[in-house]
Chain A
């Protein structure tokens, strides 16, 4: 699903954000990316999302070399990826239903199908009664659930989440994590960047730790080294 080979990313005027990152995420995996602020978690997600190119090295996404994807084809690639942000990135002047409908509209689904799917998705997360509300009137937990539902609406093959629970209290954090796990159970590959150690301890999933732009440890390698299946 995702393969990085000696990926290096440097911003002009800054030090390297990622150094020699080699990593593989298989289809259907659930992976935590962890590390302190500035470790390179968000940069790595942005590279996977094709928001910016790697300075050197190779990144394969769905088996394709990202560096060789034409700019005009990037939207097509992104339609297989859902992205959840810490700050939700909901449109404040559109209703909850309209926000969730956005990726479906972009894909050209007929209005009737969009409405039906949005209704179903909101019902699945207990927000059907909030469909006509505007995001600022929702709690943080509700907004993040809307953001997750929006990201999952088109059934993406890959879901990236950048500190999705960073602004939430423990109860709301659990709700959002359950949504992510549910998506993973239905076959979506999930990569979650977080520095919340309680999440890592609660959900024993593969954890890739980044430090100063380098992979400090990779749960998959550790498990493999220990002979785990």
Chain B
């Protein structure tokens, strides 16, 4: 094939200018696919960052049954978690802390007896992962008189489960999404190829190779892919700029959340490359299918 990059670029640009509808549909489809992928990957990255951030603040509470020996429980907890800060919190202290936490609404506690809350032992264990914290909590259940152990884990465990499942599903879902997008864009480009069948026929009549005929179509697909994925990346960056401050204000753990945690540059680069690859694959499928169906040209 005669390699004429400027000629091919000019032909591709001409085709996109003459067929804005096809360009818009192809670009839009790739935009949606890349945006959804980026959103998914960004959410996963953010969730993983939150899980990692939580590891700095592990705070376990062992609630004791009525009548349990608080000092014996503290000593047992200290043995189970050596080197950790372990405090015995009598019910009266817990009630006072609650009242302090309620501030002006503390009067709601008027009439509440000193035994309303259980005695507890608090263990501060910074730097643990969720799995390690869960294991420590299980051991702390062995503390004499322990009725329950809490480490504020309900939503974190849900998040952890979600992240684990999402990560597993991501590969399959995003693979299917990429394939579906390529086929969708390919069918759109097939319309463009079909609309230009006379041009292709005449080019072949004057001695053009399949490569010469196909190169502008490939560039067109590549351009649509890059355009769609660039738009998607820009919208993702805008979405991050809009959502991150609100998230930081709403969730203390998200204070350290940065762009590099949710949308790191390698991810953005991969999204751009994936969009370009989908466009290229789609246009290759479209032109190859057409040339295969018209072998006598």
Contacts and interface: CB of A to CB of B under 8 A. Distances in A.
Interface in A120-146: none
A102 B213 CA distance: 12
B295 A71 contact: yes
Given A71-B295, A106-B212, A79 B199 contact: no
Taking residues whose C-beta sits less than 8 angstroms from the other chain, chain B's interface range is 20 to 34
B273 interface: no
A108 B2 contact: yes
B171 interface: no
Nearest to A79: B207
Given A71-B295, A106-B2, A108-B4, A89 B205 contact: yes
Interface in A96-130: 102-103, 105-108, 111
Nearest to B11: A105
Contact of B207 (A52, A90, A91, A103): A103
A75 B4 contact: no
Interface in B238-297: 295-297
A78 interface: yes
Interface string B187-229: 0000000000011011111111110100000000000000000
A83 B203 CA distance: 12
Given A51-B296, A51-B297, A52-B296, A75 B204 contact: yes
B296 A103 contact: no
B7 to A, nearest CB: 6
A102 B4 CA distance: 13
Contact of A78 (B2, B198, B205): B205
A150 interface: yes
A221 to B, nearest CB: 31
Given A75-B208, A107-B207, A102 B202 contact: yes
A79 B7 CA distance: 19
Given A71-B295, A106-B212, A150 B4 contact: no
B18 interface: yes
A52 B204 CA distance: 13
Nearest to B199: A91
A71 B2 CA distance: 17
Taking residues whose C-beta sits less than 8 angstroms from the other chain, chain A's interface range is 20 to 34
A144 B201 CA distance: 18
Interface string A59-82: 000000000000110011011010
B192 to A, nearest CB: 14
A24 interface: no
Contacts, number: 51
Contacts of A72: 209-210
A184 to B, nearest CB: 20
A93 B18 contact: yes
Contact of A89 (B202, B209, B210, B297): B202
A102 B210 CA distance: 15
Contacts of B199: 91
Interface string A184-208: 0000000000000000000000000
Given A51-B296, A71-B295, A105-B7, A83 B2 contact: no
B198 A91 contact: yes
A150 B205 CA distance: 11
Interface string B1-39: 010101100000000001000000000000000000000
Contacts of B205: 78, 83, 89
A91 B202 contact: yes
B10 to A, nearest CB: 10
A150 to B, nearest CB: 7
B190 to A, nearest CB: 20
Nearest to A110: B4
Contacts of B198: 89, 91
Given A93-B18, A102-B202, A108-B2, A75 B207 contact: yes
A102 B212 CA distance: 12
A102 B208 CA distance: 9
Contacts of A111: 6-7
Contacts of A108: 2, 4
Interface of B: 2, 4, 6-7, 18, 198-199, 201-210, 212, 295-297
Given A79-B206, A102-B206, A111-B6, 9 more contacts: A75-B208, A78-B204, A93-B18, A102-B202, A103-B206, A105-B4, A106-B206, A108-B4, A154-B207
Q: What 5 pairs between A and B have smallest CB-CB spacing?
A: A108-B2, A103-B206, A79-B207, A78-B207, A75-B209
13 contacts: A51-B296, A71-B295, A75-B204, A75-B212, A76-B207, A79-B206, A93-B18, A103-B207, A106-B203, A106-B212, A108-B4, A111-B7, A154-B206
